[in-house]
Amino acid sequence: RSAKKAVMVKKLREPHYGSPWTLIDADDLRKGDVVEVLAKEVIPCDGEVIEGAATVDESAITGESAPVIRESGGDFCSVTGGTTVMSDWIVVRCTADPGDSFLDRMIALVEGAKRRKTPNEIALTILLIALTAILLMATVTLLPYSIYAVNAAGVGHPVTITVLVALLVCLIPTTIGALLSAIGIAGMSRMLGANVVATSGRAVEAAGDIDVLLLDKTGTITLGNRQASTFIPASGVDEVELADAAQLASLADETPEGRSIVVLAKAALQPA
């Protein structure tokens, strides 16, 4: 939050590039204000590009290391506060007030997150409460029973409070809680040996119940250069017809997947 508050922005008087501007704090921006963002500057608010085009580093939000193009008009005009313009310039109209941006909501979500107890910890808490109550009742009943036994036998001395307190301390199962923490640490250590960093014992327990792991981190975990390999037509659809439709749909797609579909379609449409 402190880094975001320190951003100074150029608020434009008119919604176009080169208009006279006033340097203000990013927290003073309001919905509908227009700002000018140049290369190497941080976009101060969520908004839409109304003029210009630039490459934007959105790794702080999406985790993708490759810059993306944001330009006025079309489907690529939305920008997120906290991202950085890498080149050129853009004029942005704010669409959210301070505190309502995507980054602010994400920060608030992280700050307000509380660690929940694992199922084992919940079960252990219930067990400890039950055992403590039972052992406390057993210890408390020893004093009147001791007094009654001494009076009935006429010899000996009743058990003292000091002995009862010492007995209760010895009986309370305090070591079970420490044992659960040790088990969690051991599990995290074993995962670390497999190059997996566990953030909590709950994560270790949840990993034991996972059947399918879906990863979407292109370029880091998954391969960011996927290629089309074959066309599988649906029932009643000819393979040549499918290849022709796929090629037409992917002609304007500049992604590696789109280009590979065009190449595969051309190969499929070539006469044998």
Active site residues: 216
Instruction: Write down the residue that tokens 């250590």 correspond to.
Output: 189
Helices (H), 194-255: 201-207, 239-250
Joined together, the tokens standing for residue 142 give 């020893």
User: Contact at 8 Å (CB) between 258 and 227?
Assistant: no
Joined together, the tokens standing for residue 233 give 């037509």
For residue 105, give the H/E element and its range: helix 102-112
User: Contact at 8 Å (CB) between 90 and 54?
Assistant: yes
User: Contact at 8 Å (CB) between 255 and 263?
Assistant: no
**Which 3 state secondary structure label does DSSP give 159?**
coil
Q: What angle do CA 170, 174, 177 make, to 5 degrees?
A: 160
Q: Distance (Å, rounded) from C-alpha 255 to C-alpha 259? A: 6
Joined together, the tokens standing for residue 188 give 């995290």
Burial class (CB in 10 A: 0-12, 13-18, 19+), 83: buried
